[in-house]
Amino acid sequence: MKLLVCGGAGFIGSNFVRLRLRDHGDEVVVLDKLTYAGRRENLEGLDVEFVHGAIEDPEAVARAVDGVDAIVNFAAETHVDRSIAEPDAFVRTHALGTYVLLEAARERGLRFLQVSTDEVYGSIAEGSFTEESPLQPSSPYSASKAGADLLVSGYHHTYDMETLICRGSNNYGPYQYPEKLIPLMILNALHGDPLPVYGNGMQIRNWLYVEDFGRGIGHVLAHGVPGEVYNVGGPDEEPNIEVVKRIIALTGADESLLEYVTDRPGHDFRYSLGSEKVRALGWEAQMRFADGLERTVAWYRDNPGWWGPIRSGDYRAYYERQYGRALG
């Protein structure tokens, strides 16, 4: 199969590309505009065709899409904190970009898979979201992602397109940009920098190893029913503060580095996805959180050549704006 993977130089996208090349022998075209979190280094050593461009640019999409069998769209602005400060990029990428891709797929009769997030459902106090749960996004990030999902569903119902939506829970693993909780805490712990935890740290997340999500997406792409949504959730839930304490133990850092900071506006308390529908396609998560986190810490410890240029560049200014202190 020849796939167009949009956002394939980002965290989840590049792990998906690596998985498809290794386990399926697919031919892959990557379309990515290489924002701060999309990096060519994430594709180093991989045999892919790379097209530099944005999904909201019809000309770039036209260059990338010819001859492919399906489009898988990972392209997104993903950090909630940035969406609160600068929502325009999120709306442009998620709404306009998804529209441009859908039009390209419709014109060519291609299968289209939209990669989405559990955050479109909002927060849940107990139990787990199903695919029938109402969309109740609570940030510009999740609202723009929900809008993109609705557009995908609308194209299926209006044009009878072969569209699919995969909503994943909180992903973690190699190549994740260190604005997100796990890589931020790992790198700060390794450098002896403070570990800033929002609020009381009791926000609960459903942790999903990135390769497990990639395999789930692959199952849906191959076996999913057009027009349907599939939740892909992790096997374990854990509060953020416990995740940080695990990272302290795995890195040998001092617990005195913990620092509770003002909570994010509109911070969802708990996410949880029910994955029965995708399990019926033959998927199961293979990585438990304790094992996956240990593997992830080891990857960051062993790959300073990947994160060193990030931590010494523009990221430092972002970090100081976000947390009110400089990195050491």
The pLDDT tens digits of the residues spanning 182-194 come to: 999 999 999 999 9
> Active-site residue numbers?
118-119, 141
The reported pLDDT for the residue numbered 313 is: 82
The reported pLDDT for the residue numbered 172 is: 98
Beta strands in the chain (DSSP E): 2-6, 27-32, 49-52, 70-73, 111-117, 163-168, 170-172, 195-198, 204-209, 229-232, 236-239, 258-261
Q: Is 171 helix (H, G, I), strand (E, B) or coil?
A: strand
- pLDDT tens, position by position, 115-132: 999 999 999 999 999 999
Cβ atoms 47, 68 nearer than 8 A: no
Q: Which two tokens stand for residue 87?
A: 């929502």
Q: Which two tokens stand for residue 166?
A: 């995969």
- Separation between Cα atoms, residue 298 and residue 292, nearest integer Å: 10
The reported pLDDT for the residue numbered 296 is: 98
Task: Give me the CATH topology for the region 172-205+235-270+288-322.
Answer: UDP-galactose 4-epimerase; domain 1 (3.90.25)
The reported pLDDT for the residue numbered 266 is: 79
Contacts of 215 (CB under 8 A, 6+ apart): 19, 283, 286
- Residue 45 backbone zone (phi > 0: left; psi -120 to 50: alpha; other: beta): left
> Domain locations in the chain?
2-171+208-232, 172-205+235-270+288-322
pTM of the model: 0.96
The reported pLDDT for the residue numbered 84 is: 81
The reported pLDDT for the residue numbered 214 is: 98
- CATH of segment(s) 2-171+208-232: 3.40.50.720
- pLDDT tens, position by position, 7-21: 999 999 999 999 999
State which residues of the chain have pLDDT below 50: none
